[in-house]
Every structure is written in structure tokens, then in C-alpha cells.
Amino acid sequence: MNNDAVIVEVGLNEAVTRAAHPHVPQQPSECAGDARRCADAGAAIVHWHAVDNAGAQRLADVDLYGPALDAMRDCVVAYPSYPIDVPDTVDARLGHCLALRSHHGLELGPIDVSTVNLVLWDVSARSLAPLVPLEGYEVIRNSLPFVAAALARYDEVGLVPTVAAFDVGSTRTIAHLIRAGLLHEPAMVKIFLWGSPAIGPEPSVQALDLHLRQLPEDLDVEWLVVPYGIADPAQVEELARAALARGGGLRLGVGDTPVAFPDSTNAHLVERAVRWAADAGRPVASVDAVRDRFGLRR
């Protein structure tokens, strides 16, 4: 970003329930209001999951995403999730993103570039799950043919991809996708450092550096670190400050780390991110600056 500005993104809700965190937004109006408060605090991007009135995830529901996106887009760049319990084809996974682009001006399209096992580790019980099939959720599948087709379709309709690196190998793959001309520069890359599920290396500054080694310096990449499923707030802060010191951006949110920040709102977490950026001597990127950087078109 110009002037070394920090992109701050927010994971509004993920699969976190109200019982797990009192401040997690779920309904479209709640997500929209929360996004606006995050924007006021300094966030430029938000990511959210559609949730119905019964509290169930509806990750491909245009009717739930659309009203929230309409209410957010004048103050923040917002993008949805996509379901993983359906075949990894563009129509099955991303049809709602294409519809949101066409009818609601969606600017960013999510894409995860790797297939990983969903391994849940219970520290206290010393147990692993799932040990039996879990209705399509035991493996997060994102095959290379799907990724390539999704990137091509996004390019066709004017959606800019925001690509997620779940593991070190997927960060390496992202570099190859750029070299192959399948992912255009500047690329927006989210580097996930996982507490739970047990994906990739243990979350640490060393793990972040290993990810960054997979991105050659001649590639035009804007990257953000995503501390995910980490229970220790000090560990989240350590990873965030390391990312800021290395020129990266930051994603925080009660959806990503509900246990670490049980009493915080998303806007409070953005305020933390802004303070950490100031400590690193870096300004925070505006929404307009992010749109200019990636050529986003509403």
C-alpha cells in the first residue's frame, strides 16, 4: 500500500454463535451495523458468514448476504464466505458470489487455494475429531481445477480475488498461480496461522516467516496475517505485531478469535489493530486507498 499503510480486515462472525460470544453479529442488519462501526474504527475490509433467523449458517444465501452488503458497501469493502460441503465447482461453491457481483456490486471474491483435513484437537481431553465422517466437513476441498476456474470466472465478471493460504504449501501455490498468470497482481493474500483447527505449523512468528519465504520479493502482493482459533490474546498480539513489523496487514475479529477476546466487540479489536499499527509507525489504509490499490469496481 502507498505510504506503507496497513490493511485492516475484520472476520465479523465465522461460525461463532451468540452463546459462544455475546457480541458476535449474525443477522444481516447486525452484520451491517457492526461493519459500519468497524469502518469508523479504521477497518477497510470485512468478511462475514450469512446466518438465518434460527442461527444456522447459510453460506450461499444471496437473500441473506445481499441486504447486508447493500448496507455496508458505502463505508467498507465486504465479502462473503462460501460453502465447503458441496462439490468444488464454481457453480456450486461460488454461484452466490457471482449473483452478488451482478445484483449487489460485490467487489471481492473469496477463494481458498488448498485442500486440508479438518483436525480438531481438544487440549484438555487430548482427543482428535472428527474420527468419523462429518457430512462433508471432515475435509476442506479446494482442488486446483476449481481454483483455476474460479479465478478465471472472477476475472471475467470483474471480481478481485482475495486468496487464503491455509498452509505453507498453499502460500507457495499462490506464488505459482501468479507466475502462471492465473492470479493477477497485485494479489491480496491472507496468511492463516491456526490454533484450531490444527492446520499448518503451530502459530508462531517463525511460521509467519516461513509463509513469507514462499512469496518471492518480485511479486506484487499485499498480505495480511489471520490469527485464527487462537485462545491466548498475547499470542494474537505477538503475531499481529510481527506482521506489522514485516510490512503486512492484519485481520482480527470475534469470528476468528472469540476465546481470546471474550468481552470485545469487533470495533474494539479494530481499535487495537490501529494502535498496534501506530506503534509500528504505520498508518492505516483507507477504504478508498484499498479500492485504488486493487482496482475494485462497484
Q: What is the mean pLDDT of residues 34-40?
A: 98
| Cα–Cα distance for residue pair 295/298, rounded to 1 Å | 10
Structure-block grid coordinates of residue 168: 505453507
User: For residue 11, what are the domain limits?
Assistant: 2-294
Q: Is the pLDDT of residue 150 over 70?
A: yes
Q: Mention every residue, 6+ apart, whose C-beta is less than 8 A from residue 258.
A: 16, 20, 21, 24
Q: Which of 90, 111, 109, 30 is CA-nearest to residue 64?
A: 30
> Residue 298: what pLDDT?
60
Residue 127 has pLDDT above 70, yes or no: yes
Residue 119: its pLDDT value, please? 84
Cell of 8: 485492516
Let me know: does 53 contact 27? Beta carbons within 8 Å: yes
**What are the tens digits of pLDDT across the range 274-298?**
999 999 999 999 999 999 999 997 6
Contact indicator for 162, 79 with CB cutoff of 8 Å: yes
What is the pTM (predicted TM-score) of this model?
Answer: 0.96
Q: Is the pLDDT of residue 42 over 80?
A: yes
Read off the C-alpha cell for 116: 486440508
Question: Which residue, chain included where needed, has cell 486446483?
Answer: 144
CA–CA separation, 80 vs 49, rounded Å? Answer: 6
- Using CA atoms in the order 52, 69, 44, 221, what is the torsion angle rounded to 10 degrees? 90
In DSSP terms, 194 is beta-bridged to 228
Query: Is 245 in contact with 231 (CB distance < 8 Å)?
Result: no
If you average pLDDT over residues 126-150, what whole number do you get?
Answer: 88
pLDDT, tens digit, 9 for 90 and up, residues 170-210: 999 999 999 999 999 999 999 999 999 999 999 999 999 99
State the pLDDT at residue 297: 74
pLDDT at 118 over 70: yes
- Separation of alpha carbons 95 and 25, rounded Å: 24
Rounded percentage of the chain residues whose pLDDT exceeds 90: 89
**Confidence category of residue 219, pLDDT binned at 50, 70, 90:** very high
Q: Which CATH number do you get for residue 110?
A: 3.20.20.70
Cβ(172)–Cβ(153) below 8 Å: no
Tell me what the pLDDT averaged over the chain comes to.
Answer: 95
Region 219-246 average pLDDT: 98
The total domain count for the chain is 1
Radius of gyration over every alpha carbon of the chain, rounded to an integer in angstroms: 18
* Per-residue pLDDT, 129: 84
**226: β partners:** 192
Residues 64-104 pLDDT 10s: 999 999 999 999 999 999 999 999 999 999 999 999 999 99
Q: What is the rounded (10 degree) CA torsion for 198, 244, 186, 154?
A: 40
C-alpha to C-alpha distances, 221 to 41, 84, 174, 189, nearest whole angstrom: 25, 26, 10, 7
* HSE (side-chain half, CA atoms, 13 Å) at 84: 21
The number of residues in the chain equals: 298
